[in-house]
Structure 1
Amino acid sequence: MTPGLPDPAGFPHCPVCAYVTTGTARLCSDCAGRTLQPVSDSHCPVCSQSVAPGSACGNRLCALPVAARGFSHVDAVAVYSGALREKIHRLKYDGRSGWALIFGRLLVGWMNSHPERMHGVDHVIGNPTHTGRQPLRHIEAIMDAAYTEDVNHAFPLSPPGGHRLVKATETPRSANRSLEDKRAAAAAHAAALTWTGDKADIQGATILLVDDVFTTGTQLQHVALRLCASGAADVRGLTLARVPWSG
């Protein structure tokens, strides 16, 4: 840090940090990276799940060909644990909207730090929540913040309010449901989405689909398949948090 200026407070003390409004994506990303649980060096190249060296991933989706899986791979900023898990929950269910700013910075910070993973991406879009979601549309809030924090417009993010994927109707939730119910909910979610941009924009495009939490990837699979059916050439995933999974 610059001499004479305070050090960052450290994640998850972001709300009282001296840089909560003036910090950059790089500053917040570097700061949070000191406390967030990183994705294991030994991880599945498809879903980022931690695996023992030389072992196959236990996620059934990873064994599928890309045409059946829909997405080529999913990256994660960190593991869904500890303070990150709590703060995502605060934003998602308590409406603590200030965390959208921080998470937007973390996404942009990850993109800046992984140019090889961003190569060729034509659109960075959020996996949408329905337009009437309460207490807030957390994915949209995060993506709007990411656009604002990408001050050099280095990435193809949509401006606030210009989300390319929109979900106008609510569909069944999948939390704490059976695997069959989760698959049905994922299919219903994907079917409810509308591409609001120019249809020509999706033809042959590489899309980075952003979400807050990734567990098995069932919902991402269905959304990716829908995008590919609409003309996308490649769908990649980026999630704030990868849930440790042993299924």
Structure 2
Amino acid sequence: MTAHLPDPAGFPECPVCAYVLTGTARLCSDCAGRTLQPVADPRCPVCSQAVAPGGQCGNRLCALPVAQRGFSRVDAVAVYSGALKDKIHKLKYGGKHGWAMIFGRLLVGWMASHPEQMQDVDHVVGNPTHAGRQPLQHIEAIMDAAYTEDVTRSFPLYPPGAHRLIKGSETPRSANRSLDDKRAAAAAHAAALTWTGDTGDLRGATILLVDDVFTSGSQLRQVALRLRASGAADVRGLVLARVPWSG
């Protein structure tokens, strides 16, 4: 840091950090990178799961052709563990809205740190939640924060309230359900989505689909297949946290 200025407090002490209101996305991302559990190397080039040197990913989706898998790859800011897991839970289920701003910065910081992944992206959109979701629409809150934090308008994000992908109805939740139930819930979720922009915007486009957590990829797959069926050429995922694969 600049002389005579305090160092960043480190994740998850963000609410009491001297830069909680003035810090840039890159500063917050670099700071969090020192305390969050990083995505492992070597990793699966498709789903970012840790793999043994020379080994193969255990996620069956990763062995499918892209046309069947839907998404080409998914990147994660960090591993779903410790403080990050706790704070995502607090935003998602406790409505702690202040974490949306922090997570928006982390996502924009990741984009700024990975220009090779962003150079051909046409749309950055959130994997949406239903308008009636309680205590809040956490993905939409994160995406609104990301737009605000992208002060140089470097990325194809959309202004608050102008979400390109919306969910028109509530669908069954997949948490703590069987694998078959999770797959059915993922299909129902994707079927409830609508692209609010000109459908011509999707033709040949590369979409970066943002979510909070990636586990098996069932939901991302269904949403990606829906977008590809509507004309998207490529769908990639970017998540805050990658759950260690246990399948």
TM-score tier (shorter): over 0.9
How many Å separate the matches in 1 of 2:27 and 2:74? 24
- SS of 2:184's partner is helix
The code of the aligned residue for 2:193 comes to L
Deviation at 1:102, TM superposition (A): 0.4
Matched residue, 1:21: 21
Matches within 5 A, 1:1-247: 1-247=1-247
Deviation at 1:61, TM superposition (A): 0.3
How many Å separate the matches in 2 of 1:184 and 1:9? 42
How many Å separate the matches in 2 of 1:9 and 1:116? 29
How many Å separate the matches in 2 of 1:69 and 1:119? 23
Deviation at 1:119, TM superposition (A): 2.0
* 1:145-190 per-position Cα deviation (integer Å, ceiling 9, x unaligned): 0001001100000111100000021100000100000000000000
The code of the aligned residue for 1:242 comes to R
* 1:36-82 per-position Cα deviation (integer Å, ceiling 9, x unaligned): 00011100000000000111100010010000000000000000000
The code of the aligned residue for 2:81 comes to S
How many Å separate the matches in 2 of 1:136 and 1:17? 25
How many Å separate the matches in 1 of 2:146 and 2:136? 16
Deviation at 1:110, TM superposition (A): 0.3
The code of the aligned residue for 1:80 comes to Y
Deviation at 1:246, TM superposition (A): 2.3
How many Å separate the matches in 1 of 2:27 and 2:14? 12
The code of the aligned residue for 1:140 comes to E
How many Å separate the matches in 1 of 2:119 and 2:217? 23
- SS of 2:207's partner is strand
Structure 1 residue ranges (4+ consecutive) displaced by more than 3 angstroms after TM superposition: none
How many Å separate the matches in 2 of 1:204 and 1:168? 25
How many Å separate the matches in 1 of 2:85 and 2:63? 28
- SS of 1:124's partner is strand
- SS of 1:207's partner is strand
* 1:190-246 per-position Cα deviation (integer Å, ceiling 9, x unaligned): 000000011110111000000000000000000000000000000000000000012
TM-score, scaled relative to structure 2: 0.99
- SS of 1:208's partner is strand
The code of the aligned residue for 1:239 comes to V
- SS of 2:140's partner is helix
How big is the alpha-carbon RMSD for the aligned residues of Structure 1 and Structure 2? 0.5
Deviation at 1:7, TM superposition (A): 1.2
How many Å separate the matches in 2 of 1:30 and 1:208? 22
- SS of 2:220's partner is helix
* 1:90-146 per-position Cα deviation (integer Å, ceiling 9, x unaligned): 000000000000000000000000001112100000000001111110000000000
The code of the aligned residue for 1:164 comes to R
- SS of 1:40's partner is coil
Identity %: 82
